[in-house]
Amino acid sequence: MSTFRAVVIDKTEAGQTCGFRELTDSDLMDGDVTVRVTHSTVNYKDGLAITGKAPIARRFPLVPGIDLAGIVESSESPEFKPGDAVILNGFGVGEGHFGGYAGRARLKSEWLVRKPEGFTAAQCMAVGTAGFTAVLCVQALERFGLTPDRGPVVVTGAAGGVGSVAVALLAKAGWHVVASTGRPQEAEYLKGIGAAEIVDRAEFTGQVRPLAKERFAAGVDSVGSTTLANILSMTKYHGAVAACGLAGGMDLPATVAPFILRGVALLGIDSVMSPRAERIAAWDRLAKDLDKDQLAAMTTTIPFDAVIEAGRDIVQGKVRGRLVVEIGA
């Protein structure tokens, strides 16, 4: 039986380990479609799984990697046949089911989406869960009825993966994008992908007042904690903030003042269990509105060998934009 390389997280008496191993098909979990993985990516959640900083791995051993793109090798589902190009993000893959950091993956057909027209497999992974989540945030703000004429939109964690794609999509939709970052050296990068203004993230880490000066009509927040609480207190009357992340912490030290005195809405965003129709609509929007040159500007490609180190880097806030991992040919 042929073998393939995989990253495997395991639990020993000494704690969680993470390293490369050779696996065979018989090591894979149940599913009706087997995919030859060509590309994956590194999201913040992958970093948390690799480092064990949060309990993302829900079984041991586990192949991490919440995103993958590849080619169907065999299928018991009438929906897919060998040779089909597919992508996957979410559904607990890379958490409770073996994920994308392996030469092969066996998956449930209902988790798979055909590779969108207009994106290569590598570009799909450049978008990945982070970019997919960014478009869900933008669509949530739009569904709430917000339009660029209402005022500026703030994006926190702007130089990260979710943030970078959100900046580009919001700028393309005509918003005045205020990019909040702790990395002033990335100002030119952020302007290049559409930011109109750069602000130091320290502006949002001070003590939270119930209400502060109204600055933003909308927000996309991937940081959480004090940052999200401050953004809410600065959101204009009838504005909204789409909250998707916790890079700064899981708590929310806010008051209800923005909700009950300014009618501000907090829109929660989850990408993992996003239903299929929403998924397809989100990928269509990405294919239509995400400029390929900007996507390239925010993407760094790394070899499979470098994925564990990249996972450690992302939880330290050292990764700019998006990473594509070349898994195999």
Phi, psi for 15 (deg, rounded to 5): 125, -165
* 160 part of the interface to ligand NDP, by CB under 6 A: yes
Phi, psi for 65 (deg, rounded to 5): 110, 95
Q: Which of 33, 57, 223, 231 binds ligand NDP (CB under 6 A)?
A: 223
* 125 part of the interface to ligand NDP, by CB under 6 A: no
Site size toward ligand NDP, by CB under 6 A? 32
Applying CB under 6 A, the span of 17-25, 28-36, 126-134, 230-238 interacting with ligand NDP comes to 126-134
- Are 130 and 43 a contacting pair, CB within 8 Å? yes
Applying CB under 6 A, the span of 57-65, 108-116, 141-149, 153-161 interacting with ligand NDP comes to 153-161
- Are 324 and 122 a contacting pair, CB within 8 Å? yes
Footprint on residues 45-64 left by ligand NDP (CB under 6 A): 45
Output the residue with the shortest Cβ distance to ligand NDP: 160
The amino acid that residue 145 corresponds to is: G
Q: Which is nearer to ligand NDP, 66 or 72 (CB)?
A: 66
Minimum distance of ligand NDP from residue 77's CB (angstroms): 26
Contact pattern from residue 273 through residue 302 relative to ligand NDP, giving x for each residue in contact according to CB under 6 A and a dash for the rest: ------------------------------
Residue 9 CB partners (closer than 8 Å, separation 6+): 16, 17, 18, 49, 50, 52, 57, 60, 61, 62, 63, 64
Minimum distance of ligand NDP from residue 259's CB (angstroms): 20
C-alpha pair distances (Å), 177 with each of 140, 163, 195, 313, 322: 16, 11, 5, 27, 19
Count how many residues are written for the chain.
329
Minimum distance of ligand NDP from residue 1's CB (angstroms): 35
Sheet strand arrangement including 216-221: 197-200, 177-181, 153-155, 216-221, 235-243, 265-268
* 181 part of the interface to ligand NDP, by CB under 6 A: yes
DSSP 33-53: EEEEEEEEE--HHHHHHHHTS
Footprint on residues 186-205 left by ligand NDP (CB under 6 A): 201
Residues that bind ligand NDP (CB under 6 A): 43-45, 129-130, 133, 157-163, 181-183, 201, 222-223, 227, 244-248, 269-272, 314, 317, 319
